[in-house]
Chains A and B, each alone.
Chain A
């Protein structure tokens, strides 16, 4: 019983003294470790600098009607984004994407003459230069971007005279400039990079509809 009591008591001061000794020995190191922790945490953020080449795939929708028609030149979209990011975050690049578009049912009811029912088949090509900025977001990268470029929209109204549906002044393909703000959340993993994002194509031409394109990206970072 006495032995038992001793065995119960002995570890007490031993543990206390051991704890104190460890605290004395490790204390300063812990303090140093804590002070080093902040810069160490920043190392977990991905390095921004590098050349990226990303394939893109997505889907886009028009956000406005044009000349009373709901043209849909975006739809399924495939393309390429390439660019270089400087160490401080500035990103300069170029992009190009082809959108298959969609056929829409249109109806025109003129004041004089018969109602015109027709199908409008449109598709588009978007390309341009991009200025952006990469911001670390934990292990991800948030990329803001603004694209300046052109849109070339092909259209086909079947046998309908475009002049009768107020589209006679547009060439085919219809070419116009666009301004495209957007953002993407990217995951760089070694030389591989992937993510998801969007671009909003604001069109300068009144005959090409604005469009919102959501996309996924995947490719290499060198």
Chain B
């Protein structure tokens, strides 16, 4: 009986102790600077080789060097904009400045917690005569040639956990080479310019912290053909077309990101004279 009384007294005391806290709840602190989220947040997610696009009304400015691939080869001065409804438009001004039109649009149309799907369509056109930056020898090679490329890509992204995301892209690039390449055919075959290519790209992203991610992916072309006027189409073997890239992406400051990548492959060799080559990119989102 006495123990029951003791227990009831303790219970009453504990309730009394707890009552003021419930009756006068402390006002929730209003953070002056809300936490910036992580690299899986919609406003911070990488749009490179993923299903994601910029949120509505967001601008992205990219500055890159030594890139690989049609969209960011050699140099990137990219401007992208989130139109809304998952749509994004982008243009590489660096390529435009040397006589190459390079525009693309992307659409993130399936958006769920564990699975996302996006599509991307690009258009690039290079007229040999316009490429003023090329040296005399290259200028002579490409002067009579125009190259058009339309890559179409479907990408699935699966953010399985807070630290892992898997990506898988299926792409078809329609390319056309106009004019008479003559000796330039090796340039096109080595650098995979103007090719018709069907490829898959599996990838994985490991989010090491809320502001650092390790990104790995490999391009595995199933078929690569170079269309040449008045000549037989040239088929490139897999060993000359596959490539791998590994990169570190970090948020340096709110809205400010960098990616340092290492590329490996024959395509890299054709562009830079080495099978292994770095690329660096700065991105500012506002």
Footprint of B on A, CB under 8 Å? 9-10, 13-14, 16-18, 20-21, 23-25, 27-28, 35, 38, 63-64, 88-89, 133, 135-138, 142, 144, 146, 179, 181-183, 200, 202, 210, 212
30 A-B residue pairs with CB within 8 Å: A9-B3, A13-B3, A17-B6, A17-B7, A17-B10, A17-B14, A18-B10, A20-B10, A21-B11, A24-B18, A27-B21, A38-B35, A63-B276, A63-B277, A64-B273, A88-B253, A133-B258, A135-B212, A135-B251, A136-B209, A137-B208, A144-B252, A144-B260, A146-B280, A181-B278, A182-B260, A183-B260, A202-B66, A202-B277, A210-B277
Footprint of A on B, CB under 8 Å? 3-4, 6-11, 13-18, 21, 29, 35, 65-66, 208-209, 211-212, 248, 250-253, 258, 260, 262, 272-280
Please pick, from B16, B21, B260, the residue contacting A181 in the complex, using a CB distance under 8 A.
B260
Q: Are A133 and B252 in contact (CB under 8 A)?
A: yes
**Closest beta carbon of chain B to A211's beta carbon, Å:** 9
Please pick, from B212, B253, B275, the residue contacting A137 in the complex, using a CB distance under 8 A.
B212
> With A138-B209, A202-B278 known to touch, is A144 a contact of B258 (CB < 8 Å)?
yes
Inter-chain contacts of B13 with A (CB < 8 A): 21, 24
Inter-chain contacts of A137 with B (CB < 8 A): 208-209, 212
Q: Which 5 A-B pairs have the closest CB atoms?
A: A17-B10, A13-B7, A24-B14, A64-B274, A24-B17
Inter-chain contacts of A144 with B (CB < 8 A): 248, 250, 252, 258, 260, 280
Q: Are A16 and B21 in contact (CB under 8 A)?
A: no
Please pick, from B18, B276, B279, the residue contacting A212 in the complex, using a CB distance under 8 A.
B276
Given A136-B209, A144-B248, A202-B277, 8 extra CB contacts under 8 A: A14-B10, A17-B14, A25-B14, A64-B274, A89-B253, A137-B209, A144-B258, A210-B277
Inter-chain contacts of A28 with B (CB < 8 A): 21
